[in-house]
Amino acid sequence: MKQHAKAEDSYRSHTNMRQMWLAPLLIAAITSVGLIAALVGDGWHDAVSWAALGVPVVLIAWKWRLG
């Protein structure tokens, strides 16, 4: 019975780690796309860059407003 509880705790900790790191990794990926778009071209690349680099700013403002 204890072994089953340990396996369940291990699964929960992996799930919690995944949930904890999912948002920061997505924000980092979106920001990276924005930075790369800004470096490689003009025109539509600029629009992608502004949109992608605006995501973290919008998220911070939203979270700050929620308190």
Contact 30, 52 (CB under 8 A): yes
32 assigned to some structural domain: yes
Please give the tally of structural domains in the chain.
1
pLDDT value for 2: 58
50 assigned to some structural domain: yes
For residues 27 and 47, what is the distance between their CA atoms, to the nearest angstrom? 17
1 assigned to some structural domain: no
Per-residue pLDDT of the chain (67 residues; tens, 9 = 90+): 556 556 666 667 777 888 899 999 999 999 999 999 999 999 999 999 999 999 999 999 999 998 7
pLDDT value for 67: 79
Q: In whole angstroms, what separates CA 53 from the centre of its chain? A: 12
30 assigned to some structural domain: yes
The pTM for the full model equals: 0.73
Q: Choose among 59, 2, 53, 63: nearest CA to 30.
A: 53
5 assigned to some structural domain: no
pLDDT value for 14: 72
55 assigned to some structural domain: yes
